[in-house]
């Protein structure tokens, strides 16, 4: 009896000790070998499974389909009782169809989760560094009462997925993540080879309050899967308008906006999070700025850091920085004006490489999947865009844009971009990569609204940046910015930094 107690205490003690020395790279390496080997996994360009399912809650049967295609295409469909639930990512935007048949483009976390799922499943964890996946060891876990190694996989956008590996077979037995805003837990069992690669025959999908028992009836590797499978449904699409005329009007509107918005001041909140290569947070800061516009640029003054006001000395230094920013903008404006005057005298048009207008997208990109939707109370035209491989970029701005893919939301009445999502499909090098190398997957989101029945102003920005600076420093940062408290004012002087005289608060319309 005494020995039994001692053994029990020893087992409890051992279970409480963190699992040390477990290298996540080793666990992933064992998985790759068990799944068929790196060479076999690298040959997978498309993968699809079809199966039958039973909803454990009511016993109703249905069908399940999953289709994947490199580099980042994802399509999942659950068909039960004549209704189908679809979630898809086409490499540019995410969309879903709910049980009622409503089809819509997904935004925010829901879209990011589908994008992350697409990158994760098509990567097969074969080259995490190249695929911008951070992998860290969490510890021991239990899956159906059996021991498992638990790893955490983090995408470039900071989204996390828990992955459990069987210590004996080294195959994945469970995954936990959120997909399109719904928590999912997926358990895998009874692996069998298909074209030299191990795939599960039994899948238990916990989705929200439902539990689906899936039996895979067909699995195929590298069969032809067209892009249309992942694209927004054609029957929900519309004809694209004359994009050249539309983009010209958008650019003209933006020039007028740049003048009007100099009558406004506002508040900007930034939340910046830095990550290490394994996806762990190393630093997090929240900053608050006041700002106004000058010659199309924001002149910002930091007033709070981590919700605490700056000291008098800190504020003085920030005011000096803002003064310098004003001086630099004015100086740059005078140089630009002089160049434009000279070009005008010579009968030429002066255009800077830094002037990245919406019309550049028209040349450097091609547009697909047009549809009409409602966004923030506006009727909008939405379409995906991707690089135009036949276009030869003429300057740095066009070279950068040609490396982008994403989606654009345009207010059809106002002819303004209300939302833009984009990410780099390849590494984007500035100064040949000597200055900055924005790595593949770096992305951003921009939103604006109509303020005070007068002008379109930014309300939200989001950036997920993975880059190398000066060939040395690796940076992995996510930044979320909220704009608020817009007020109208008139700038009497720019020689001193102070809160401009304000009129009534301006509310978004």
For 333-366, what is the HEC assignment? HHHHHHHHHHHHHCCCCCCCCCCCCCHHHHHHEE
Q: Residue 261: which of 251, 253, 270, 271 has the closest Cα?
A: 253
pLDDT at 10: 39
CA atoms within 13 A on the CB side of 182: 17
| pLDDT per residue as tens digits for the range 259-300 | 888 889 999 999 999 888 777 889 999 999 999 998 888 899
Mean pLDDT of the chain: 85
Give 1's pLDDT tier (boundaries 50, 70, 90). very low
Mark 357-374 as b/e (b = at least 16 C-beta within 10 Å): bbebbbbbbebbbbbeee
Cis peptide before 100 (omega within 30 of 0): no
DSSP assignment letter at 401: H
pLDDT at 351: 55
Please give the backbone phi and psi of residue 432, each rounded to the nearest 5 degrees, phi first: 65, 20
pLDDT over threshold 90, residue 199? yes
pLDDT at 22: 79
Give 19's pLDDT tier (boundaries 50, 70, 90). very low
Contact 270, 481 (CB under 8 A): yes
Please give the backbone phi and psi of residue 355, each rounded to the nearest 5 degrees, phi first: -80, 90
CA distance 218 to 200: 11
DSSP assignment letter at 441: T
Contact 90, 232 (CB under 8 A): yes
Q: Which residue is associated with the tokens 């010209």? A: 248
| pLDDT per residue as tens digits for the range 433-472 | 555 677 788 889 999 999 988 999 999 999 988 876 655 5
**Residue 2, C-beta contacts closer than 8 angstroms, at least 6 positions apart:** none
Q: Which helix (H) or strand (E) holds 257?
A: helix 243-260
Contact 352, 340 (CB under 8 A): no
Whole-model pTM: value is 0.82
Give 14's pLDDT tier (boundaries 50, 70, 90). very low
CA distance 287 to 285: 6
Q: Give the domains, in start order, of the chain with CATH numbers.
A: 20-229 (2.50.20.10), 237-341+348-505 (no CATH)
Distances (CA, A) of 220 to 26, 45, 51, 65, 71: 28, 11, 12, 12, 17
256 class by beta-carbon count within 10 Å (0-12 exposed, 13-18 middle, 19+ buried): exposed
| DSSP sequence for 125-146 | TS-TTTTT-EEEEEEEEEETTE
- Sequence length of the chain is 509
pLDDT at 507: 55
| pLDDT per residue as tens digits for the range 311-354 | 999 999 999 999 999 998 888 888 877 777 777 777 766 555 45
Q: Which helix (H) or strand (E) holds 434?
A: none
Q: Cα–chain-centroid distance for residue 131?
A: 14
| DSSP sequence for 289-322 | EEEEEETTEEEEEEEEETTEEPPHHHHHHHHHHH
| pLDDT per residue as tens digits for the range 359-384 | 778 778 889 999 999 998 889 999 99
pLDDT at 115: 93
pLDDT at 287: 96
Q: Residue 426: which of 413, 411, 442 has the closest Cα?
A: 442
User: Which among 230-244, 292-306, 479-493 has the top mean pLDDT?
Assistant: 292-306
pLDDT over threshold 60, residue 167? yes
DSSP assignment letter at 501: P
Looking at the chain, the whole-number percentage of residues with pLDDT higher than 70 is 87
Give 506's pLDDT tier (boundaries 50, 70, 90). low
pLDDT at 94: 95
CA distance 95 to 111: 7
pLDDT at 205: 96
Q: Residue 177: which of 157, 192, 194, 193 has the closest Cα?
A: 157
Residue/partner pairs of 196-203 with CB below 8 Å, 24 or more apart: 196/36, 196/37, 196/40, 197/35, 197/36, 197/40, 197/41, 197/44, 197/221, 198/34, 198/35, 198/36, 198/171, 199/49, 203/51, 203/64
Q: Which helix (H) or strand (E) holds 394?
A: none
| pLDDT per residue as tens digits for the range 107-131 | 988 999 999 999 999 999 999 988 8
| pLDDT per residue as tens digits for the range 141-152 | 999 999 999 999
Distances (CA, A) of 465 to 104, 416, 436, 468, 490: 27, 26, 11, 10, 36
The residue with greater pLDDT, 302 or 82, is 302
Q: How wide is the angle at C-alpha 271 spanned by C-alphas 269 and 272, nearest 5°?
A: 140
Give 497's pLDDT tier (boundaries 50, 70, 90). very low
DSSP assignment letter at 508: B
pLDDT at 189: 95
**Residue 438, C-beta contacts closer than 8 angstroms, at least 6 positions apart:** 424, 427, 428, 429, 430, 465, 466, 467
């Amino acid at each position: 009896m005494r020995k039994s107690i001692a053994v029990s205490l020893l087992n409890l003690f051992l279970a409480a000790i963190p699992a040390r020395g477990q290298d996540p790279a080793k666990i992933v390496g064992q998985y790759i070998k068990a799944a068929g080997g790196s060479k076999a996994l690298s040959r997978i360009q498309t993968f699809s499974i079809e199966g039958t399912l039973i909803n454990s809650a009511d016993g109703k049967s249905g069908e399940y389909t999953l289709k994947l295609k490199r580099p980042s295409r994802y399509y999942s469909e659950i068909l039960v009782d004549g209704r189908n639930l679809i979630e898809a990512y086409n490499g540019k935007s995410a969309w879903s169809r709910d049980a009622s048949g409503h089809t819509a483009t997904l935004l925010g976390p829901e879209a990011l989760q589908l994008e992350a799922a697409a990158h994760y499943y098509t990567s097969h964890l074969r080259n995490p560094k190249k695929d911008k996946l951070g992998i860290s060891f969490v510890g021991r876990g239990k899956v159906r009462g059996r021991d498992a190694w638990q790893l955490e996989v983090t995408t470039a956008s900071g989204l996390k997925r828990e992955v459990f590996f069987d210590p004996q077979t080294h195959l994945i037995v469970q995954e936990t993540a959120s997909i399109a805003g719904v928590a999912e837990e997926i358990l895998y069992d009874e692996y069998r080879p298909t074209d030299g690669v191990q795939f599960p025959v039994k899948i238990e999908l916990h989705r929200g309050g439902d539990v689906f028992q899936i039996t895979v009836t067909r699995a195929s590797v590298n069969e032809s899967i067209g892009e249309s499978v992942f694209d927004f449904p054609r029957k929900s699409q519309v004809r694209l308008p004359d994009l050249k005329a539309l983009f010209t009007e958008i650019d003209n509107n933006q020039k007028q906006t740049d003048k009007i918005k100099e009558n406004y001041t506002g508040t900007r909140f930034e939340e910046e999070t830095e990550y290490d290569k394994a996806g762990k947070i190393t630093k997090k800061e929240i900053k608050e700025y006041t700002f106004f516009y000058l010659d199309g640029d924001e002149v910002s003054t930091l007033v709070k850091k981590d919700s605490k006001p700056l000291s008098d000395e800190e504020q003085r230094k920030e005011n000096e920085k803002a003064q310098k920013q004003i001086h630099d903008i004015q100086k740059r404006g005078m140089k630009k004006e002089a160049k434009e005057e000279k070009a005008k005298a010579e009968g030429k048009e002066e255009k800077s490489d830094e002037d990245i207008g919406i019309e550049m997208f028209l040349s450097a990109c091609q547009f697909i999947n047009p549809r009409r939707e409602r966004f923030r109370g506006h009727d909008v035209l939405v379409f995906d865009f991707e690089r135009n491989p036949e276009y030869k970029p003429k300057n740095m701005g066009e070279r950068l844009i040609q490396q982008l893919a994403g989606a654009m939301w345009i207010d059809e009445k106002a002819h303004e971009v209300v939302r833009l999502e984009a990410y780099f499909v390849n590494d984007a090098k500035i100064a040949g990569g000597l200055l900055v190398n924005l790595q593949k997957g770096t992305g951003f989101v921009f939103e604006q609204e109509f303020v005070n029945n007068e002008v379109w102003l930014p309300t939200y920005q989001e950036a997920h940046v993975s880059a190398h600076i000066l060939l040395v420093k690796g940076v992995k940062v996510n930044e979320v910015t909220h704009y608020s408290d817009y007020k109208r004012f008139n700038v009497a002087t720019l020689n001193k930094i102070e809160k401009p005289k304000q009129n009534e608060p301006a509310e978004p319309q």
